[in-house]
Copies of this chain bind each other. A is one copy, B any other.
Amino acid sequence: MKKEPIPSVKGTRDFYPSDQAIQNWLRGVIQKISQKYGYQEFEGPELEYLDLYTDKTSREILEDQVFILKDRDERDLVLRPELTPTLARMVAQRSAELPAIIRWYCFGRAWRYERPQKGRGREFFQWEINILGPETPEADAEILAVAADFFRELNLTPLEVTIRVNDRAYFDQILKENNIDQKKFIPLLRVIDRQEKISLEEFTQSLANEGLTSDQIEAIKRYLSERDYSRSPWLTQVFESLENYPGVREYVTFDPTIARGFDYYTRTVFEAWDKTGQLKRSLFGGGRFDDLTATLGGQHIPGVGMAPGDMPIEALLRSLDKLPIIRPITARALVTAFDEKLASKSTRTAATLRQAGISVESWVGGVTKLDKQLKYASHQNIPFVVIIGPDEAKDGKLTIKNMQSGDQQTVDFERAIEILKGKV
């Protein structure tokens, strides 16, 4: 009785070796860029208490998008919807002993219960990269430079992607200048964050719903149409610092409409956007969160960072035909098994080749025609095949077949190692 196949959970991904090879390539790019700037890798639990996110992460995520479960004491646990709170908790826990500048990165999983679509799943990976300690525009500029460097490494040009930067503290100042209650700071940011998805009329109505007068609404609209960051001394210095990074400035633009959904951002906020129209939304975001560690019970340690997700980046690269062709790493050789009598000798040869530092597969599929074994090696893209037939066994030799050229030669063991190591 054949059972119905059990499917994977909606919004999750199976990484077959060909998919995992791409994922490893992306991880390699992320490691390279992170290490180039001296960031050290950390990781944290994927399960956290719900309290870690309450009043900090975006309300939208907490209300609708977290995977929640209960431990046996009925406490609410969640699968982390993002990594910044875990990072901040870890820093808060050891605030006394950590260095003056904390540069940490991680490429880890996160979950959100969203509608799966192009470049968006319920289980995904995020590159969490942050500087904690300094409350300086230079730190913000470095994070933006890292983002631009990442794009450059991926061969994404300033014509294809852009990083839109804003300053929440400057927005706060606009509220003060227009006598808008500070309590409306977060609600108004949420309205602005939705702005691109709604009509101008709806937008005006949303601002009015927050209790703003028509003068105040006009002031907000004026603020949103500004194209000059000089009224924010902070952003002025961030942009100044950016000039020190060759080839970075052209990726970054000032954009007062950037608000970001996360409540914990205090100052610089930014979003990277696809300009090609392939994804029609933000690729990732980041910003400065100066109060998060204190909110979590640690010392006040300011921070700035970002969290590019793997899925939108891969989707964009795929759309633009810029995802490199990456194949899984294979063994250098398949050692075939000639017949039942000689199989043992093949296994032993394979083991000896491995001791010589060569990665080899041995044929453990039982008595099988040589043809089929060769076909397997070819299907797996294994570059060489080693054959030990009766003649080779008698003479103490190996036959090595180059699967690409089809050439084969019968050689002794030392010579075989040289060939397999690519030295001849």
**A382 to B37 CA separation, bound complex (whole angstroms):** 12
Q: What's the tally of chain A residues with a CB closer than 8 Å to chain B?
A: 103
Choice from B23, B38, B89, B359 contacting A360 with Cβ under 8 Å: B38
Asked if residues A44 and B14 are in contact (CB atoms below 8 Å), the reply is: yes
Asked if residues A99 and B376 are in contact (CB atoms below 8 Å), the reply is: yes
Instruction: Say how far A21's CB is from chain B's closest CB, in angstroms.
Output: 8
Asked if residues A45 and B8 are in contact (CB atoms below 8 Å), the reply is: yes
Asked if residues B6 and A365 are in contact (CB atoms below 8 Å), the reply is: no
- Give the oligomeric copy count: 2
Chain A 23-49, CB-CB to B under 8 Å as 1, else 0, gives: 110000000000111101111111111
Asked if residues A142 and B362 are in contact (CB atoms below 8 Å), the reply is: yes
Instruction: Say how far A290's CB is from chain B's closest CB, in angstroms.
Output: 14
Complex interface: stretch among A128-136, A208-216, A280-288: A128-136
Asked if residues A138 and B343 are in contact (CB atoms below 8 Å), the reply is: yes
**A16 to B135 CA separation, bound complex (whole angstroms):** 22
**A100 to B371 CA separation, bound complex (whole angstroms):** 13
Contacts of A24 in B (CB 8 A): 41
Asked if residues A90 and B16 are in contact (CB atoms below 8 Å), the reply is: yes
Instruction: Say how far A172's CB is from chain B's closest CB, in angstroms.
Output: 22
- Which residues between 362 and 378 of chain A lie within 8 Å of chain B, taking CB atoms? 362-366, 368, 372, 376
Knowing that A15-B43, A40-B329, A136-B364 are A-B contacts, what are 19 other residue pairs whose CB atoms are under 8 Å apart, sorted by A's residue number?
A5-B93, A7-B49, A8-B44, A8-B48, A9-B49, A17-B41, A37-B354, A38-B359, A38-B382, A41-B328, A41-B329, A47-B79, A47-B111, A68-B69, A100-B376, A101-B361, A101-B365, A134-B366, A138-B362
